[in-house]
């Protein structure tokens, strides 16, 4: 799906339709369970700058990027494939960086907040994730040793 004329078309990779429903660009966790659901978005970011913005309506727990090799199954959190494969921003803790190092200082985000990520993809160089919170303008930059990345979102019911 794409939200505007200048947007790239991105395809959500939903691990299980038993956990997540997609309707008009809104992802809703079903009421049948409380499983984690981590959704990746294609295409892989190989170069250029991509801005991805999401509105946390209810229980968006993490946003971030994952190495292009990462795939998720049902009931898996973003770090299920290892901490060295993802960079994630947790709604209540801050940013989790590859290798298990926490970068503290970012604010929490809540239901109703918009979370924007600017992902800078450079072939044969590091990929950067820049989390920008619209509420207070908090900004933190970290790098990840990956040539290509996919955007991820994770939530639960």
Determine, yes or no, domain membership for 129: yes
Q: In whole angstroms, what is the distance from residue 142 CA to residue 124 CA?
A: 17
Determine, yes or no, domain membership for 3: no
Output the six-digit token pair for 59: 């229980």
- Give residue-wise pLDDT tens across range 97-119: 656 677 766 778 888 888 888 77
* Structural domain total, the chain: 1
> Are 38 and 77 within 8 A, CB to CB?
yes
Structural domain boundaries, residue 16: 11-155
Question: Does the global pTM surpass 0.85?
Answer: no
Assign residue 106 the CATH number of its domain.
Answer: 2.60.120.920
Determine, yes or no, domain membership for 2: no
Determine, yes or no, domain membership for 15: yes
Determine, yes or no, domain membership for 30: yes
Residue 133 has pLDDT above 80, yes or no: no
Determine, yes or no, domain membership for 4: no
Strands (E), 4-156: 11-13, 20-23, 26-29, 37-45, 48-55, 60-67, 86-90, 94-97, 101-103, 114-121, 127-133, 139-144, 149-155
Q: In whole angstroms, what is the distance from residue 11 CA to residue 63 CA?
A: 16
For residues 30 and 139, which has the higher predicted lDDT (pLDDT)?
A: 30
Determine, yes or no, domain membership for 6: no
> Are 91 and 155 within 8 A, CB to CB?
no
- Give residue-wise pLDDT tens across range 30-56: 888 889 999 999 888 877 778 888 888
């Amino acid at each position: 799906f794409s939200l505007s004329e200048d947007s790239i078309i991105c395809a959500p990779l939903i691990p299980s339709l038993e956990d997540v429903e997609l309707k008009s660009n809104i992802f809703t966790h079903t009421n049948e369970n409380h499983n984690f659901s981590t959704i990746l978005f294609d295409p892989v970011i190989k170069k250029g700058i991509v801005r991805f913005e999401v509105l946390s309506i209810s229980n968006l727990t993490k946003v971030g990027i994952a190495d292009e090799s990462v795939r998720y199954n049902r009931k898996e959190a973003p770090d299920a494939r290892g901490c060295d494969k993802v960079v994630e921003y947790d709604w209540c803790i801050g940013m989790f960086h590859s290798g298990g190092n926490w970068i503290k200082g970012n604010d929490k985000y809540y239901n109703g907040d918009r979370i924007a990520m600017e992902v800078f993809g450079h072939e044969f160089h590091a990929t950067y994730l820049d989390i920008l919170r619209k509420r207070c303008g908090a900004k933190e930059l970290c790098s990840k040793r990956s040539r290509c990345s996919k955007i991820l979102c994770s939530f639960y019911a």
